[in-house]
Amino acid sequence: MRRKVAIVTGGASGMGREIALAFARDGVDVLIADIDEVGGARTEATARELHAGAVFHRTDVGDGGSVTQMVERAVAEFGAVDYAVNAAGIGSETVVLHECDDDDFDRLMAVNLRSVFLCLRAELTQLVEQGTGGAIVNIASINASKAFPRKALYGATKAGVVAMTANAAIDYAPQGIRINAICPGRIDTPMLRATMSRPGRDIDKLALDQPIGRLGYASEIADAALWLCSDKSSFVVGEALRVDGGYLAG
């Protein structure tokens, strides 16, 4: 009996890295996809220490051909695809909307929204062809449902991810393919720390602003992703699961 196989985009660092390693610890073969070759190779090496079935594949998630090759590589290496977590993304703009230029819009849409479409299309094509069901998780954000200053474009991309997730979920549920999203709150990742390093921002104050009194850990997002891919969440379809330490509830 073959082992389960997962694709994780954005696997070079942050939440994507922790998700890939969590799959490896769970005995799942994992293809780690990212444009960052150094970080991706590092994740691959760590995953192999945990479980032999791990490979890094350089992927530009904003390019349809590159994404198709990502899925093809997973099948070539491991024989099939069972799970996918689309975690690749970039940080948000830091100015009000009228000060954003076309490049800001195009870059955020390409990496945060178009990439999810491209990944879903390639992953679903493989899952439908296999006919064995599966699970896909898209990483969105609490910005999908709450407004924040100077985040109009970023919020729009994440709201788009949530809407795409829900609509695709009802199309593919009859085929045994469950599609869900995770909406992380403030998670302690290199991306967040880079954002908070700008003048006038205080990461310690940000942590204290959370009802739980701290930032989230990338490993906590990984745990949620594994649960959504497991049989323990078999009745969860089209959900946008908030993992935010109570931020939106407070």
- Choice among 154, 172, 217, 247 that is catalytic: 154
Strand partners, 31: 7, 55
**Which helix (H) or strand (E) covers residue 154, if one does?**
helix 152-172
Let me know if 154 is a catalytic residue. Answer: yes
CB 119 within 8 A of CB 61: yes
For residues 61 and 52, what is the distance between their CA atoms, to the nearest angstrom? 25
For residues 30 and 199, what is the distance between their CA atoms, to the nearest angstrom? 39
The neighbour count for residue 104, using CB atoms within 10 Å, is: 17
Q: What secondary structure does DSSP assign to 12-81, as a single string?
A: TSHHHHHHHHHHHHTT-EEEEEES-HHHHHHHHHHHHHH-S-EEEEE--TT-HHHHHHHHHHHHHHHS--
> How large is the greatest C-alpha to C-alpha distance in the chain, in angstroms?
56
Collapsing DSSP to helix, strand or coil, 200 comes out as coil
CA of 143: how far to CAs of 14, 23, 98, 153, 194, in Å?
Answer: 18, 26, 19, 10, 18
**Which helix (H) or strand (E) covers residue 241, if one does?**
strand 240-243
Active-site residues, by number, are 154
